[in-house]
Amino acid sequence: MKDSIANYPAMIPALTVKGAAEAIDFYKAAFAATELYRLSDPETGKIGHAELMINNSLIMLADEYPAFNKSPQTLGGTSVRLCLMVADVDASLDQAKAAGATVLMPASDQFYGHRSACVADPFGHQWLLQHEIEKVSPVEMQRRWNAMVTK
């Protein structure tokens, strides 16, 4: 456990889950997360705040406290996908599936130059796993998008 983080990035996702301790274990298994620390409620054992590193990116995490935060399970879904850049989408997808993720989109090459897959974690959050396969300019992306949607 680290004492503190010297410099926080400008934006940090903060996830709310039902079962934060289980979620931390899942993220360790699925995405090779490293737990920096957690603050637990001494009466309930619920995690009020935890910080994880995934691929050099900080993620904050807490158990659901309905008066303050709600999980995707309570809300009936999520409108946010977390994009995780990885070295190998296929290997990362296999690792996430083995840890208990549900595949929403199998790995495939995309018009914008990435190989991508999408999974849902057991706590209702969606993760877009990607690695770059080619550099594509915005002009070329638009051309490819137009060709794809006008078929």
Q: How confident is the model at residue 3 (pLDDT cuts 50, 70, 90)?
A: low
Domain 14-149 CATH (choose: 1.10.1040.10, 3.40.50.1220, 3.40.50.620, 3.10.180.10): 3.10.180.10
122-143 confidence digits (pLDDT tens): 999 999 999 999 999 999 999 9
- Provide CB contacts within 8 A for 11, sequence distance 6+: none
Q: How confident is the model at residue 4 (pLDDT cuts 50, 70, 90)?
A: low
> 112-142 as b/e, with b when 16 or more CB fall inside 10 Å?
bbbbbbbbbbbbbbbbbbbbeeeebeeeeee
15-38 confidence digits (pLDDT tens): 999 999 999 999 999 999 999 999
DSSP 8-state symbol, 10: S
